Amino acid sequence: MHTLICPSCGAGNRVPEDRIGQSPQCGRCKTPLFPGKAFELSGEALARHRQHDSLPLVVDFWAPWCGPCRMMAPHFNAVAERLEPNLRFAKLDTEAEQAVAADYGIRSIPTLMVFRENVLLFQQAGALSASQLEELVTQVKAVDMAQVHAEIAAQEKNGTTTH
Catalytically active residues are 66, 69
Provide the H-helix boundaries in the chain: 43-52, 67-83, 98-103, 130-141, 145-158
CA–CA dist 106, 110 (Å, integer): 9
Pairing of strands 111-116, 119-125: antiparallel
CA angle 3, 146, 82 (to 5 degrees): 50
| Secondary structure of residue 78 in the 3-state scheme | helix
- Residue 4 phi/psi, 5-degree rounding, is -125, 130
CA angle 154, 160, 163 (to 5 degrees): 95
